[in-house]
Amino acid sequence: MSLPHALLTSLLEQPCSGMDLARRFGRSIGFFWPATHQQIYKELGKLEAAGWVRSSAEEGARGRKRCYEVLPAGEQELKRWVAETDEPPPLRDAMMVRLRAEAALGTGAGVENDLLHRLARHRTQLALYEDIEQRDFTGRELSAAEQLQYLILQSGLTTEREHIRFCEKALALMEALEPAGV
């Protein structure tokens, strides 16, 4: 479970409120560790209880904005965790199950729907990543931290392009297997 460490990282980059974190998770760290505001608030509570972060408001101040920042103990914990290892995350992709189901049923079951839908989604996501690349990482010297962030973005770019190629290839194969449009 990496949510606490994703939060520590994000707060280390820039101290902010839970809502700000939620928004930031929507566009940067959230690309590889998504989280909703509900999860974030609960986890921030735990981080504070553990003494890893501190916030600028008294207990039970519902509705009032509170700003979180990482404490030395939190930074220590993050360092410890970075040096650990994990297994690759298991993949769970319903579209692959659909393709195999289509094979088992004999073609004509309609995976094309999902393939087309996913194709559109991956194209959108790729365009988004390309915008970020253009805006943040192009045409100037990059610091060490920026080079690492760019590397991560490139992984996203490659992945989306691979998914697009896969959907296109699968659609072409479906076309070849059921030429008449069953």
Partner DNA sequence: TCGCCCATGTAATAAGTTACATGATTAA
Partner DNA sequence: TTAATCATGTAACTTATTACATGGGCGA
Question: Could you list the residues that contact a second copy (CB under 8 A)?
Answer: 2, 5-6, 8-9, 12-13, 29, 31-34, 75, 78-79, 81-107, 109-111, 113-114, 117-118, 121-122, 125, 144-149, 151-152, 155, 158-159, 162-163, 166, 169-170, 173, 177
Q: Which does 24 bind (CB under 5 to 8 A by kind): DNA, a second copy, none?
A: none
Binds 37, which of a second copy, DNA, none (CB < 5 to 8 A, cut-off by type)?
A: DNA
Please count the CA atoms within 13 angstroms of the CA of 30 that sit on its side-chain side.
14
Q: Answer yes or no whether residue 159 interacts with DNA by CB under 7 A.
A: no
Q: Which two tokens stand for residue 165?
A: 């190629």
If one asks whether residue 90 binds DNA (CB under 7 A), the answer comes out as: yes
Nearer to a second copy, 57 or 127 (CB): 127
Chosen from DNA, a second copy, none, partner binding at 93 (C-beta under 5 to 8 Å by type): a second copy
Residue 96 binding partner per list DNA, a second copy, none, with a CB distance cut-off of 5 to 8 Å that depends on partner kind: a second copy
Q: Is 24 in the site for DNA (CB under 7 A)?
A: no
| Distances from the Cα of 179 to the Cα of 14, 29, 170, angstroms | 55, 43, 14
Please enumerate in sequence order all residues whose Cβ is within 8 A of that of 76, keeping only pairs 6 or more positions apart, or say none.
none
Reading the block at residue 137, the tokens are 């990482």
DSSP letter string, 120-170: HHHHHHHHHHHHHHHHHHSSS---HHHHHHHHHHHHHHHHHHHHHHHHHHH
Footprint on residues 55-74 left by DNA (CB under 7 A): 60-66
- What are the structure tokens assigned to 80, written together? 């410890």
Supply the minimum distance, in Å, between the C-beta of residue 127 and a second copy.
Answer: 15
What contacts 129, CB < 8 A, 6 or more positions away? 153, 156, 157, 160
Q: In the beta sheet, which residues pair with residue 16?
A: 68
Rule CB under 7 A: say whether 110 interacts with DNA.
Answer: no
Which amino acid appears at position 65 of this protein? Answer: K
Task: Give the interface with DNA as residue ranges (CB under 7 A).
Answer: 1, 3, 17-20, 34-39, 41-42, 44-45, 60-66, 90, 92
